[in-house]
Copies of this chain bind each other. A is one copy, B any other.
Amino acid sequence: MATITIIGTGTMANAIGGVLANGGNSVAYVAHEQIGTARIEGDIVVLAVPYPALDGIVSAHADQLAGKTVVDITNPLDFTTFDSLVVPAGSSAAAELQAKLPASAVLKAFNTTFAATLVSGKVGDLTTTVLIAGDDAEAKQALKSAIEAGGLTAIDAGSLKRAHELEALGFLQLTLAAGEKISWTGGFGIIR
């Protein structure tokens, strides 16, 4: 069982919190308006906020995040064009975050799973699979266990470099849904 703080109270925050609470993990929430004043507890902190909100969390809470696992779920799209990401080519939001939080174990996860597939636990007939990338093997294993306890599948997708590919996948999936090629309850399922 892990002690988890979720920053954010939106659709993704609730969907992720629901999975982790179902797994018997201890889950607390910090609302957006509490950023800067809340005390961030727990072993794992999920930043369930949009990409532009990351910097404010880093500024306010970098010290409290030191020594913790920090989970970045963002898809850093340029939402004005829906045609590119706003992070440098070849990099990722997660790699940028790790550079700003050198004393934390940053993981990329939950950016390739639509909220509805976390809530239902299914993508079509498949169990929803969360892909995790990061450089800290112990942190990845702890998050994987917490997710699996909640009834989903989790796969260690490799080092934090793979966050680039996970963000490309998340971006592609968003463009397919926005273009009505897939639904917001569907997307990429993983067959092992």
Contact = CB atoms under 8 A, between A and B. Distances in A.
Interface of A: 83-84, 88-91, 123-126, 155-159, 161-162, 164-166, 168-169, 171-172, 175-176, 179, 181-183, 186-192
Given A161-B83, A165-B171, A169-B165, A187 B182 contact: no
Contacts of A186: 190-192
A189 B192 contact: no
Nearest to A82: B158
A71 to B, nearest CB: 19
A176 B191 contact: no
A104 to B, nearest CB: 23
A91 B171 CA distance: 15
Contact of A192 (B83, B155, B168, B181): B181
Contacts of A84: 161
Contacts of A190: 182, 186-189
Contacts of A159: 83
A159 to B, nearest CB: 8
Given A89-B89, A189-B191, A157 B172 contact: yes
Which of A91, A156, A158 has its CB near the most chain B CB atoms (within 10 A)? A158
A147 to B, nearest CB: 15
